[in-house]
Protein backbone atom coordinates (compact mmCIF):
# COMPACT_ATOMS: atom_id res chain seq x y z
CA UNK A 1 0.00 0.00 0.00
CA UNK A 2 2.77 2.48 0.92
CA UNK A 3 4.61 1.79 -2.37
CA UNK A 4 1.39 2.44 -4.26
CA UNK A 5 0.90 5.72 -2.38
CA UNK A 6 4.44 6.84 -3.20
CA UNK A 7 3.98 5.96 -6.86
CA UNK A 8 0.60 7.66 -7.05
CA UNK A 9 2.02 10.84 -5.47
CA UNK A 10 4.88 10.76 -8.00
CA UNK A 11 2.44 10.44 -10.87
CA UNK A 12 0.39 13.32 -9.48
CA UNK A 13 3.52 15.47 -9.14
CA UNK A 14 4.60 14.76 -12.72
CA UNK A 15 1.10 15.43 -14.03
CA UNK A 16 0.94 18.70 -12.08
CA UNK A 17 4.28 19.83 -13.50
CA UNK A 18 3.15 19.00 -17.04
CA UNK A 19 0.00 21.08 -16.56
CA UNK A 20 2.19 24.13 -15.95
CA UNK A 21 3.99 23.89 -19.30
CA UNK A 22 4.05 27.08 -21.36
CA UNK A 23 1.67 27.43 -24.28
CA UNK A 24 2.92 25.97 -27.56
CA UNK A 25 5.05 28.36 -29.61
CA UNK A 26 4.39 28.94 -33.28
CA UNK A 27 7.21 28.57 -35.80
CA UNK A 28 7.65 30.22 -39.15
CA UNK A 29 6.40 27.02 -40.80
CA UNK A 30 2.99 27.35 -39.15
CA UNK A 31 3.57 24.25 -37.01
CA UNK A 32 3.26 24.53 -33.25
CA UNK A 33 6.13 23.39 -31.03
CA UNK A 34 5.74 22.13 -27.50
CA UNK A 35 8.33 21.78 -24.76
CA UNK A 36 8.62 18.35 -23.18
CA UNK A 37 10.45 17.80 -19.90
CA UNK A 38 12.25 14.56 -19.18
CA UNK A 39 11.44 13.38 -15.62
CA UNK A 40 14.47 11.07 -15.58
CA UNK A 41 17.11 11.53 -12.90
CA UNK A 42 19.96 13.87 -13.79
CA UNK A 43 23.19 12.14 -14.76
CA UNK A 44 25.25 13.95 -12.11
CA UNK A 45 24.60 13.31 -8.44
CA UNK A 46 24.52 16.23 -6.03
CA UNK A 47 27.71 16.95 -4.13
CA UNK A 48 27.72 15.15 -0.81
CA UNK A 49 28.11 17.17 2.35
CA UNK A 50 29.25 15.72 5.66
CA UNK A 51 26.53 15.13 8.23
CA UNK A 52 26.29 17.51 11.14
CA UNK A 53 27.76 15.95 14.28
CA UNK A 54 25.23 14.58 16.77
CA UNK A 55 24.48 16.53 19.91
CA UNK A 56 25.77 15.01 23.15
CA UNK A 57 22.42 15.78 24.78
CA UNK A 58 19.09 17.43 24.03
CA UNK A 59 18.89 18.85 27.54
CA UNK A 60 18.63 22.64 27.36
CA UNK A 61 18.34 22.54 23.56
CA UNK A 62 15.67 23.71 21.13
CA UNK A 63 14.28 20.99 18.89
CA UNK A 64 12.26 21.97 15.83
CA UNK A 65 9.73 19.44 14.51
CA UNK A 66 8.86 20.26 10.92
CA UNK A 67 5.90 18.74 9.08
CA UNK A 68 6.49 18.87 5.31
CA UNK A 69 2.75 18.25 4.77
CA UNK A 70 3.02 14.97 2.90
CA UNK A 71 -0.58 13.93 2.47
CA UNK A 72 -1.94 17.40 3.22
CA UNK A 73 -1.67 20.08 5.89
CA UNK A 74 -3.25 17.98 8.66
CA UNK A 75 -2.15 14.46 7.73
CA UNK A 76 0.80 14.06 10.08
CA UNK A 77 0.73 17.06 12.36
CA UNK A 78 -1.04 15.18 15.15
CA UNK A 79 1.88 12.72 15.36
CA UNK A 80 4.27 15.63 15.91
CA UNK A 81 1.93 17.01 18.58
CA UNK A 82 2.09 13.66 20.40
CA UNK A 83 5.91 13.74 20.14
CA UNK A 84 5.94 17.28 21.54
CA UNK A 85 3.72 16.18 24.44
CA UNK A 86 6.11 13.29 25.12
CA UNK A 87 9.06 15.69 25.30
CA UNK A 88 7.18 18.02 27.69
CA UNK A 89 6.39 15.10 29.98
CA UNK A 90 9.63 13.09 29.78
CA UNK A 91 12.29 15.68 28.89
CA UNK A 92 11.00 19.05 30.12
CA UNK A 93 14.43 20.64 29.59
CA UNK A 94 14.01 20.32 25.83
CA UNK A 95 12.19 23.19 24.15
CA UNK A 96 10.16 21.94 21.18
CA UNK A 97 8.86 24.05 18.31
CA UNK A 98 6.25 22.58 15.97
CA UNK A 99 6.01 24.05 12.49
CA UNK A 100 4.54 23.37 9.07
CA UNK A 101 6.65 24.07 6.02
CA UNK A 102 5.13 26.89 3.93
CA UNK A 103 3.40 25.68 0.82
CA UNK A 104 3.64 21.93 0.43
CA UNK A 105 6.15 19.09 0.31
CA UNK A 106 7.42 20.21 -3.10
CA UNK A 107 8.27 23.79 -2.10
CA UNK A 108 11.25 25.19 -0.27
CA UNK A 109 10.96 27.35 2.85
CA UNK A 110 14.27 29.29 3.18
CA UNK A 111 12.91 31.53 5.95
CA UNK A 112 12.14 28.52 8.12
CA UNK A 113 15.57 26.96 7.49
CA UNK A 114 17.21 30.27 8.50
CA UNK A 115 15.07 30.41 11.65
CA UNK A 116 16.07 26.88 12.60
CA UNK A 117 19.72 27.66 11.92
CA UNK A 118 19.59 30.80 14.07
CA UNK A 119 17.36 29.62 16.94
CA UNK A 120 17.38 25.82 16.93
CA UNK A 121 19.88 23.20 17.97
CA UNK A 122 18.30 20.25 16.15
CA UNK A 123 15.41 19.46 13.85
CA UNK A 124 13.22 16.57 12.85
CA UNK A 125 12.10 17.22 9.29
CA UNK A 126 9.85 14.78 7.57
CA UNK A 127 6.51 13.13 7.31
CA UNK A 128 4.43 11.59 10.03
CA UNK A 129 1.61 9.47 8.66
CB crowding 63-87: b at 16 or more within 10 Å, else e: bbbbbbbbeeeeebbeebeebbeeb
In terms of C-beta distances under 8 Å and separation of at least 24 residues, what long-range contacts does 14-18 make, across chains too? 14/39
User: Alpha carbon 96 to chain centroid distance?
Assistant: 19
Return the higher-pLDDT residue of 25 and 121. 121
Return the higher-pLDDT residue of 1 and 73. 73
The string of pLDDT tens digits covering residues 57-115 is 999 999 999 888 777 666 667 888 899 999 999 999 999 999 888 877 778 889 999 99
- Residue numbers of the domain that contains 12: 2-33
In a domain, residue 46? The reply is no
In a domain, residue 42? The reply is no
The yes-or-no verdict on residue 116 having pLDDT over 50 is yes
Instruction: Say how many C-beta atoms besides its own lie within 10 A of residue 116's C-beta.
Output: 20
Statement to judge: residues 23 and 71 lie in one domain: no
In a domain, residue 41? The reply is no
Statement to judge: residues 29 and 67 lie in one domain: no
In a domain, residue 66? The reply is yes
Global pTM? 0.60
In a domain, residue 110? The reply is yes
Domain count, the chain: 2
The pLDDT score that the predictor gives to residue 9 is: 45
Amino acid sequence: MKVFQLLSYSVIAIAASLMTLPAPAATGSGKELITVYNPAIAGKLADRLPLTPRLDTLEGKTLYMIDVQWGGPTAGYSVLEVMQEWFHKNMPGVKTVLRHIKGNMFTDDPELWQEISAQGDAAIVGIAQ
